[in-house]
Amino acid sequence: MRSSRLLDRGNEEITLYAEKKVVNSRREPLIVWDPDTYVTVMVTAVTDRQADAEVVGQLSVKALRIMTRTPIPGSWGRAKFRGEWWDLKEPPTQSMGISKATRHWEFAIRSRNELVDG
């Protein structure tokens, strides 16, 4: 049986950090990412959209579509990918595909655009 080459050649690692519920100082419930609960999986990344900053003070927009065969159900709050932090634009969803060869998990991430001290 042939498999999808794009999905099986995932050559990059992404680390997904889970979400957790906490209570702030005003006793309001918040959902934050948990640095102690994570999973690392091999993925294939495809550019979703990108716009580079043209003027000083603007931020670049980077968004990627991530696909993997590894099951990643649950609620994830943040990702570490290609050496930078990313937010999840949408939760991971399973695509059942037409056959077993095309079944996969898919989600989108957006760069946090952290400023680097010069």
Tens digit of pLDDT for each residue in 28-55? Answer: 999 888 999 899 999 988 887 766 656 6
Q: Give every CB contact of residue 59 below 8 A, 6+ residues apart in sequence.
A: 53, 113
In sequence order, what are the beta bridge partners of 85? 80
Task: Please indicate, yes or no, if residue 26 is contained in any of the structural domains.
Answer: yes
The answer to whether the beta carbons of residues 76 and 17 sit under 8 Å apart is: yes
- Give the CATH number, domain containing residue 94: 2.40.10
Number of folded domains that form the chain: 1
In-domain check, residue 116: no
Within-domain flag for 46 = yes
Per-residue DSSP letters for 65-79? EEEESS---S-EEEE
Domain that holds residue 95: 5-111
Q: Tell me the pTM.
A: 0.76
In this prediction, residue 96 has a pLDDT band, given cuts at 50, 70 and 90, of confident
Say if 86 falls within a structural domain: yes
Q: Is the residue at 17 inside a domain? A: yes
Non-local (6+) Cβ contacts of 79 within 8 A are 14, 15, 16, 17, 85, 86, 87, 88, 109
